Amino acid sequence: MSGTAAGMRSVVVEREIPHPPDKIWRALTQPHLIEEWLMRNDFEPIVGHRFNLRRNPKPDLNIVVDCRVLVVEPNKTLSYTWTAYDLKSVVTWTLTPTSTGTRLRMEQSGFRPDQKQAYGGASAGWRQFLANLEQVLTRID
């Protein structure tokens, strides 16, 4: 996690994976495979393509993430916007071949417009708390 600019923050997850880049690329870009590890989707590896990621962790809870493809460099880089709730972010996948497979890096950088006010205004902070409580609950699936 690092701050790159005022109000801008990012999450980085990086792993050495014992599989070649082209195979990981398939899992990152083929809708039926994406669904198996991420969410239901209508992804297409075309720059500018808009798609949704969806899941129903509970019967009455429907999560939809709005996305748009930004970068497609087969077996190397995949990037798309990720907008959900009040979080606008960009998710970038980077695949680097290693002697044993691939170093896979995911960086999500984002900016939440009301982030600053969360600590300044009581009502904004409270509203955000509830929105985030909802997000935390959706993770318990």
Partner 1 sequence: MTNAQDVLFRTLADPTRRALFERLCREGEKTVGALTARAGVSQPAVSKHLGVLKQAGLVRDRHEGRQTHYSAQLGALAPLIDWTSQMAGFWQSRFDHLEDLLKRMDQ
State the Cα–Cα distance between residues 32 and 22, nearest whole angstrom.
16
In DSSP terms, which residues pair with 89 in a beta bridge? 82, 110
4, 15, 61, 64: which one binds partner 1 (CB under 8 A): 15
State the Cα–Cα distance between residues 91 and 78, nearest whole angstrom.
8
3-state SS, residue 98: coil
Residue 9 touches partner 1, criterion: CB under 8 A: yes
Residue 8 touches partner 1, criterion: CB under 8 A: no
CA distances from 90 to 17, 83, 124 (A): 23, 8, 24
Which residues inside 21-80 make contact with partner 1, applying CB under 8 A? Answer: 23-24, 26-27, 33, 36-38
Binding-site size for partner 1 (CB under 8 A) equals: 36
Which residues inside 116-135 make contact with partner 1, applying CB under 8 A? Answer: 118-119, 122-123, 125-126, 128-129, 132-133, 135
CB-based contacts of 4: which residues, under 8 Å, 6+ apart? 10, 109
- For residues 34 and 69, which CB has a smaller minimum distance to partner 1 in the complex? 34
Position 136: which residue type? Answer: V
Contact residues toward partner 1 (CB under 8 A) are 1, 9-11, 13, 15, 17, 19, 23-24, 26-27, 33, 36-38, 87, 104, 106, 108, 110, 112, 118-119, 122-123, 125-126, 128-129, 132-133, 135-136, 139-140
